[in-house]
A and B are shown apart, each in its own frame.
Chain A
Amino acid sequence: MTLMTKLSSAVAALALTAGAAVAEPALIFDLGGKFDKSFNEAAFNGAKRWSEEAGESFREIELQSEAQREQALRRFAENGNNPIVMTGFAFGNVLSEVAPDYPDTKFAIIDMVVDAPNVRSVVFNEHEGSYLVGMMAAMASESGTVGFIGGMDIPLIRKFACGYAQGVKAVNPDATVVANMTGTTPAAWNDPVKGSELTKAQISQGADVVYAAAGGTGVGVLQTAADEGILSIGVDSNQNYLHPGKVLTSMMKRVDNAVYDAMKAGTDLETGINVMGIANGGIGYALDEYNASLVSAEMQAAVDEASAKIASGELTVHDYMSDDSCPALSF
């Protein structure tokens, strides 16, 4: 008897909170987890910034399994959360199925194009940003050998690597790019120990600048690079602060901006494809007090020039994913 009353009152309480949650935006993190110091965390920071500015709350979930993707989407949609933002290309398939069922709900997906009237697809030209940091790496390198450490070996990361290699070669055609992937399973996104080992291996091959595009694994890369006295390049968020004076720059993929924009737009979210590149400030490199001493005026000038050329269309960086091949690097 008491159990039943307790149960019903709890359910009522639940309904109450659920009711209050209407029109809250929701954010779904991919399997990497919220605090990966990289991609997912950038998304979280964007949401947090919006939340603080607007003084409103948002729902969030860290996924545990593949089947939860659809579940989270539907449960949030049914709960009235709007818009629903998700990070990661892995949601693509699911979203294309779920979105039509909830025509009144707006969805935003990052890193993937989903063709539906109520979906905003945010994609980034990571190859362009990687090109810029590649140029900086080549200029900063004294040995003529630079490194790249990717996370899981997937086309997206090869896109990073390919853009980076092109940038390096543009500055120094004779430079060597050592590229390694951390692994072939999703665990590769969160393996700082392996990242550290790979960094040491690349140092032994002569690399004196390494670029980590590896999610949580990159933390280990940056740490080891700092410990071993070489330069590193962060990714996604601005990671310069992690090791002041040791991180050359960070390839900024403004996922936070994308999430912030989506949440700020709220139910009026504009749908369609939203390409974030150098031209619209969605991609860039980080320059702040932590790396000011590392970036010379000459370096900055060269990069800014290339940046302008890319923005204007004068310079095209090859996108690995357009044809699954890379002119500057073989995998």
Chain B
Amino acid sequence: MDKMPGWADAVLVPLISLILAAILSALVIIGIGEDPIAAFNLMVDGALMRSSGWGYTLYYATNFIFTGLAVAVAFHARLFNIGGEGQAMIGGLGVALACLYIPWPNWYVALLGATVSAAIFGALWALIPAYLQAKRGSHIVITTIMFNFIAAALLNYVLVNLLRPQGAMDPATAKFPEATHLPTFQDMFSTATAPMFRGAPANVTFFLALLACVFVWVLIWRTRLGYEIRAFGHSESAAKYAGISPVKITIVAMLISGALAGMMALNTTMGEAERLVMNATEGAGFIGIAVALMGRSHPLGVLLAALLFGFLYQGGAELALWTNIPRELIVVIQALVILFTGALDNMVRMPLEKLFLARRRKA
């Protein structure tokens, strides 16, 4: 006896949460003397009504798909991987090393190589917390958070002291060689007569992110490993009964999670900046948590949630460009969405369940 139909759970609850967040955001905007409807139109116009806006929306969404999937895979094993940020940073290091030190013949071979490198680096960064959780019982939330700081410090050291070109100010690597530059949407979809996605950073890694969604779906719902991950996630005691090793599943799930987080760096580092900068992840690892929560840890949900957050990011940038809404307030609006869709989920769900029950009783 489920309390309400599946579509209500998957669509209606997030939708109502979003509307609530939007109403509250509107009040905030009114509070500082701006017009919320104009602001919303500006966001929609800037993020969705032109191809370059889409180019940014999809660029951000690509980041969030990777980190959201990373969190989702770990969620299925009931592991709360907060370390997506650090894993993505170290994944970026993997991308940079692969791009800088291996003479790739062309971009697609380079992409393949950099993907493997990013995944391995990200996975290894997740391995240590995973091992500590599996073997020593150190809580993965604590260790992954700490590893974010360690990753930032390590990356900074490497960038400042090892990879920074002579005389450069930025803690960043040199520009990657031409052969590793990924085709952007502009390269792919623009024609001579109709320029598309002009200057937007969205690039071919978006399709890689879509592939990752399919991969995760197959992994979780169609393979033995996915079965074991889910079983372990639902009940550790039952997993033991069935002969599923908690140590193995913890480590494997975290490796996959770390690899996905690491692959996020392909988009920012190889696709956009074409060099590794210090601040490449920009909190996408944390947004991934909200994305996974909102997407119910399902790849399709993650994709949709990532698009939403991509829209919020791009729309927020438009607000910053054309209105006097300070950027702190834009962060507040983004936070409201996270709050309502993630943390306050039950606030919407429970009244809705009651409503459905009441309706069914009448019927």
Contacts and interface: CB of A to CB of B under 8 A. Distances in A.
Given A10-B37, A61-B320, A70-B199, A321 B56 contact: no
Q: Is chain B's binding surface mostly helix, strand, loop or mixed?
A: helix
A72 interface: yes
Interface string B306-335: 000000010011001110001100110000
Contacts of B166: 324
Given A14-B42, A93-B275, A112-B169, A72 B59 contact: no
Which among B42, B44, B171, B316 has the highest number of chain A CB atoms within 10 Å? B171
Contacts of A62: 320, 326-327
Given A11-B41, A153-B160, A61 B331 contact: no
Contacts, number: 110
B47 to A, nearest CB: 11
Given A62-B320, A112-B169, A184 B157 contact: yes
Contacts of A184: 152-153, 156-157, 160, 171
A89 B38 CA distance: 34
A280 interface: no
Interface string B267-308: 010001101011110100000000000000000000000000
B64 interface: no
Contact of A71 (B56, B153, B279): B56
B167 interface: yes
Interface size grouping (class) on chain A:
35 or more
B286 to A, nearest CB: 13
Interface string A48-76: 00000000000101111111101110111
A202 B279 CA distance: 29
B175 interface: yes
A101 B198 CA distance: 10
A59 B316 CA distance: 16
A62 B320 CA distance: 7
B199 A74 contact: yes
A204 interface: no
A288 B330 CA distance: 39
B60 interface: yes
A33 B327 CA distance: 9
A68 B201 CA distance: 10
A101 B273 contact: no
Contacts of A64: 313, 316-317, 320, 327, 330-331
B178 interface: no
Interface string B37-73: 1100110110001001000100110000000000000
A185 B56 contact: no
Contacts of A70: 199, 201
A74 B198 contact: yes
A33 to B, nearest CB: 8
B169 A154 contact: yes
A154 B160 contact: yes
Given A63-B320, A67-B272, A185-B152, 19 more contacts: A6-B37, A11-B41, A14-B45, A61-B321, A63-B327, A64-B316, A64-B330, A66-B273, A66-B277, A67-B59, A67-B201, A70-B199, A71-B56, A71-B200, A93-B275, A98-B199, A153-B160, A184-B171, A324-B166
Interface of A: 6-7, 10-11, 13-14, 17-18, 31, 33, 59, 61-68, 70-72, 74-76, 89-90, 92-93, 98, 101, 111-112, 152-156, 184-186, 321-322, 324
22 contacts: A11-B41, A13-B38, A14-B38, A14-B42, A14-B45, A64-B327, A66-B268, A66-B272, A66-B282, A67-B59, A67-B60, A68-B320, A70-B201, A74-B199, A92-B170, A98-B199, A154-B170, A155-B167, A184-B152, A184-B153, A184-B160, A184-B171
